[in-house]
């Protein structure tokens, strides 16, 4: 049996889960999320927890058992607490500014970059003197917030020599040694 899939998902107070026609919906204090689930996986609520079972022992069904358990667990956490990602802009003159759902980035290119952020993601920016500018993303959908954060990071990945670029707060970068003068 899948080690991840067999673990029950605790259902906190104030969170409701429904499973109809292959679609699971989780409703909580922060909002509602829904996901289509494969027919091989059945979902039930037992003793205040969500339990997933699979139809057969096929390799594909075993893989989906753990996958859907993780997805539903992320949905429960999202509607109760939500997710938050912080990114730092490391580099001289790098700036970020959020206006409504448009993120304006100055990353050392000849032009500014404008990025449309989905309406489900709340975006704020901080610029404190003496610290790197910070982009803060908040959302209830873990997949969506991760995809948006990856897109922002892909605009200027941290380079390995000085570490300039967009990195996640707390991320440790492996730096390379530069050329050393030969004697």
Give domain 9-80's CATH architecture.
Answer: Alpha-Beta Complex (3.90)
Q: Can you state the angle between helices 59-80 and 142-154, rounded to 10 degrees?
A: 90
pTM score, whole prediction: 0.89
Q: 74 in helix, strand or coil?
A: helix
Q: Same topology for domains 9-80 and 83-168, yes or no?
A: yes
Domain 83-168 part of CATH 3.30.830.10: no
Judge contact between 170 and 151, C-beta under 8 A. Answer: no
Per-residue confidence band for 180, with pLDDT thresholds at 50, 70 and 90: confident
Domain ranges of the chain: 9-80, 83-168
- pLDDT score, position 97: 95
The beta-strand segments (E) located in the chain are 9-10, 16-20, 23-28, 31-36, 41-46, 49-54, 83-90, 95-99, 102-106, 113-116, 122-126, 134-139, 165-168
Tens of pLDDT, residue by residue over 146-178, are 999 999 999 999 999 988 999 999 989 898 888
């Amino acid at each position: 049996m899948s080690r991840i899939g067999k673990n029950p998902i605790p259902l906190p107070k104030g969170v409701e889960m429904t499973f109809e026609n292959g679609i699971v919906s989780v409703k909580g204090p922060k909002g509602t999320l829904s996901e289509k689930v494969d027919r091989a996986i059945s979902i039930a609520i037992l003793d205040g927890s969500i339990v997933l079972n699979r139809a057969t022992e096929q390799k594909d069904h075993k893989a989906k058992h753990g996958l859907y358990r993780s997805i539903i667990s992320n949905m429960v956490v999202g509607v109760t607490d939500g997710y938050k990602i912080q990114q730092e802009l490391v580099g001289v003159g790098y700036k970020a500014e959020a206006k409504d759902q448009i993120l304006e980035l100055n990353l050392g290119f000849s032009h500014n970059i404008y990025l449309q952020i989905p309406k489900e993601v709340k975006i704020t920016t901080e610029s404190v003197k003496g610290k790197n500018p910070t982009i803060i993303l908040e959302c209830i959908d873990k997949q969506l917030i991760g995809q948006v954060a990856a897109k922002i990071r892909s605009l200027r990945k941290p380079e390995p020599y000085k570490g300039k670029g967009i990195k996640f707060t707390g991320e440790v970068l492996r730096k390379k040694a530069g050329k050393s003068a030969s004697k």
